[in-house]
Amino acid sequence: MASEQSGQSRPLERMEDLVSLCARRGYLFGSSEIYGGINGFWDYGPLGVELKNNLKAAWWQRVVRARPDIEGIDSAIIAHPRTWEASGHVEHFSDPMVDCRTCNRRFRADQTDLPCPEAPKQREVSECELTDPRNFNLMLSTHVGASEEAGSVAYLRPETCQPIFNDFKRVREVARQKLPFGIAQIGKAFRNEINPRNFTFRSREFEQAEMEFFCHPSEREKWFDHWLEERTRFHADLGLDADRLRTRPHAPDELAHYCQNARDVEFHFPFGWQEIEGIHDRGDWDLSRHSEFSGKDLGVTDPDTKEHFVPMVIETSVGVDRTCLALLVNGYREEALEAGETRTVMRLHPALAPLKAAILPLSKKLAEPAQALATELRAQLNVFYDDAGNIGRRYRRQDEAGTPFCITYDFDSENDSKVTVRERDSMAQERIALDAVLDYVKRKTEFPG
């Protein structure tokens, strides 16, 4: 089978190229496109949902299942409204906004150096007739029950961690956990972002994977360092390039008022260094506030010393969608091939790739045995079968989809019971016995423990 040779390789420079690949291949596209879309909301297609599920499974395995000291939960999206009073979101979770008196549009008060949408060539928003800044709460609200009175207002959670604090006492008891231990969950969060932008980077509906680790006040620094190291290792294991990853401590004026220490894990996107995860020392703020607002004591008593105290919290909070976006940006490459051809390849970690292998018979005449191989693999792996078009074009489609292995069933396979396995990044080919293919692909697509 003809081998391929690659030359120069270019990373992603323009987000538009990724947006277009994602729509073309079914990773991600605007929500409700048939109605013109809705700003800040995105749908994951057949490949995107697999990538996202693989990422969530890797996180859950690493953070929850592999550790005896972490418990998982899946809480309701809507919590008792007092939750958000206790957390400070009702009072403080807002951005200062200004309204334009001419066009009635609303802008963030700190982002008025943009062209005015009414007259973009003539003036900036700051030169329009603007109202004084007013605070605009970013929580999305709804009504629970039949009445729409003020008393029935509830909020879609703006972060997944607060229900963890609500459930702290119950989970500690049912799981018979002693400090230090943590509670984790993955789920949707909603923020009425004024300016959703950069594809899914800032959305109005997104997923978070959060873990709250409860410890004695004397151990908070030790656990902060532990979680910072764990989470940095996780991002490296995802295959994000070392020169695109860094951690950045928050400056004192960036720290939330209850936060003693915070570090962001940042990724270098085409639009600059941006946060994908935060590791925060939240102190005893959350449990103390929920104790105060609920009237329930959320403190713990040390069984040996009988000391009663409110545990300190070290939080790790990663955006699932932002990490997916970082993986797609990181994986995207345009490569020059021989004879002036180019290929776009999505170099995702094989454990995260939506499809693990594509089964490609060299000719439609070989469809039957190739289908049989696809059926065998499909019982344990997400695989794709394709017998349409020339083999080069089929490889290109799989390169864009990020499929780590293309398995070609050819006329020799009929005699030697072997197939050609082509590796996505190197495009190297090797012959593998048909009955060894399943184990081969499984072994090569595992996530490190």
> Using an 8 Å Cβ cutoff, are 300 and 308 in contact?
yes
Q: Site residues for ligand GAP, window 103-162 (CB under 6 A)?
A: 159, 161
Dist CA 135 CA 118 (whole Å): 24
Per the CB < 8 A criterion, the answer to whether 356 and 376 are in contact is no
State the Cα angle at 21 between 158 and 272, rounded to 5°.
55
Using the rule CB under 6 A, is 43 a contact of ligand GAP? no
Residue 322 interacts with ligand GAP (CB under 6 A): yes or no: yes
| Least distance CB 292 / ligand GAP (angstroms) | 19
Query: Which listed residue (219, 221, 237, 275) binds ligand GAP by CB under 6 A?
Result: 275
Helices 367-378, 437-444: axis angle to 10 degrees equals: 50
Smallest distance, ligand GAP to C-beta of residue 359, A? 36
Residue 192 is encoded by which pair of tokens?
């009425």
Interface with ligand GAP, residue 321, by CB under 6 A? yes
For position 335 contacting ligand GAP by CB under 6 A, the verdict is: no
Distance CA 346, CA 356 (A): 13
Q: Among the candidate windows 51-59, 106-114, 272-280, 440-448, which touches ligand GAP by CB under 6 A?
A: 272-280
Q: 48, 163, 319, 350: which one contacts ligand GAP (CB under 6 A)?
A: 319
User: Binding-site residue total for ligand GAP (CB under 6 A)?
Assistant: 19
Is 330 one of the binding residues for ligand GAP (CB under 6 A)?
Answer: no
Q: CB under 6 A: which stretch of 28-36, 121-129, 275-283, 296-304 binds ligand GAP?
A: 275-283
Is 278 one of the binding residues for ligand GAP (CB under 6 A)? yes
Shortest distance in whole angstroms from residue 256 CB to ligand GAP: 9
Mapped onto helix, strand or coil, the DSSP state of residue 394 is helix
Q: Which is nearer to ligand GAP, 160 or 398 (by Cβ)?
A: 160
Residue 261 interacts with ligand GAP (CB under 6 A): yes or no: no
In sequence order, the β-bridge partners of residue 175 are: none
- Which residue, judged by CB position, is nearest to ligand GAP in the bound state? 319
* Positive or negative torsion for Cα 146, 149, 151, 156: positive
Residue 317 or 382 with smaller CB distance to ligand GAP: 317
Do 40 and 138 meet the contact criterion of CB atoms below 8 Å apart?
A: no
Per-residue contact string for residues 174-213; x = within reach of ligand GAP by CB under 6 A: -----------------x-x--------xx--x-x-x---
Under the criterion CB under 6 A, does residue 317 sit at the interface with ligand GAP?
yes
Q: Is 346 in the site for ligand GAP (CB under 6 A)?
A: no
Q: Backbone dihedral region of 141: left (phi > 0), alpha (psi from -120 to 50 degrees) or beta? A: beta
277 binds ligand GAP, rule: CB under 6 A: yes
Q: Can you say whether the dihedral through the CA atoms of 297, 302, 308, 309 is positive or negative?
A: negative
Give the separation between CA 77 and CA 125, rounded to whole angstroms. 36
Please state, in angstroms and rounded to a whole number, the distance separating the CA atoms of residues 26 and 331: 16
Tokens 């089929």 belong to 394
* SS percent in the chain: helix, strand, coil, step 5: 35, 30, 35
Which residues of the shown chain bind ligand GAP in the complex (CB under 6 A)?
159, 161, 191, 193, 202-203, 206, 208, 210, 275-278, 315, 317-319, 321-322
